[in-house]
Structures are given as structure tokens and as C-alpha cells.
Amino acid sequence: MTIIILKIFRASLIAFLLLIISYIVFLAFLVRDLPNSVKLPVGLVLNSYYLSRVTGDYWEDSLIKQYNNIKELPSRIRIVFFQKILITTCDIDTSRALIFVELLGKDASELRRSLIKLKSTHDFSLLNNLQKKIVIDWIEDLNIVESLNHQSSGGSFDKMVE
């Protein structure tokens, strides 16, 4: 009887390890084409996002933490970070949208341009319908953010929401 239990335990352990390895490969696949400087931050945010789908935890803290790790990088790199998270999660709404826009700050215009450019490429046709809708909706949303940025006295959304 003990041998049977050990075999079941071993098979369960192997299945669990294969699941973990598959998950790590999945995350690595998602960030494979990103610049090295944002692979880890994007991977950590996406990890938090996918775990939150199971646990119900908030993943926004990870977004904020990883943004703080990349905020000194060039704008074009930050845009890759924001765009990948936006399109991969398709879950930037309500309070997450406010956090996302606040983190974007002056990068909102550049993200909007990047999404418009994406819309005119072959890569856009490879997105699923929800991702395409997210891109189109956020192009419009970021247009509003740009308008708010220009209307605010300091020229930035961050100062407007303080």
C-alpha cells in the first residue's frame, strides 16, 4: 500500500513540476520579443496578473512596483512596457485604468501614437478581437487623456489628479 501511495505522490509531484515549468515557458514566450530591459518587469506584472486570475488578488501593486523599476528608462522602452501589459491583459479598466493613466503621465501621447502605428501593421491582424477592441478603445481614451494633459496648468495628468 505504501508503494502505491509513493507512486501516486511521485506522479502528482511530476505533474505539478511540469505545470510550473509550462507556466514559466508561457511567461517567457509572452516576453520573448521585448527589449531585455523590460522583459523581467513585464514578466513580473504578467505573472501577478495571471496569478490574480486564480487567487483574486490585486495585481496593480506589481504594475506600480515594476513601473518604478523602469521609469528612468527611455520613453520608447516604457511605451513597450505599457503596450505589452495593455494588450496582453486586456484588463485595464476602472481603478486599474486610473493607475495606468497616472503611471503613463506624459507618455500617454507616445503610447497613443504607438497604438495607432500598431493598428496599421500586420501585427494588428494577429490580435484577437478583444485585443483589437482594446487597442481601438485606448487610442480614443488616450486622446482624451492628451486633451486633459494639455488643458491642465502643469501640462500633466499627474498634477491634475493630485
Residue 17 grid cell: 513540476
Q: Is residue 7 part of a domain?
A: no
Which residues constitute the domain of residue 99? 31-161
Q: Is residue 114 part of a domain?
A: yes
pLDDT the model gives residue 149: 75
pTM of the model: 0.84
Distance CA 157, CA 161 (A): 6
Q: Is residue 21 part of a domain?
A: no
Task: Give every CB contact of residue 105 below 8 A, 6+ residues apart in sequence.
Answer: 156, 157, 158
Confidence of residue 154 (pLDDT cuts 50, 70, 90): low
Question: Could you read off the pLDDT of 16-71 as tens digits, one per residue?
Answer: 999 999 999 999 999 999 999 999 999 999 999 999 999 999 999 999 999 999 99
pLDDT the model gives residue 94: 85
Q: Is residue 111 part of a domain?
A: yes
Distance CA 30, CA 24 (A): 10
How many residues does the structure list for the chain? 162
Q: Is residue 39 part of a domain?
A: yes
Give the total number of structural domains in the chain: 1
Q: Which residue has the cell 482624451?
A: 144
Q: Is residue 65 part of a domain?
A: yes
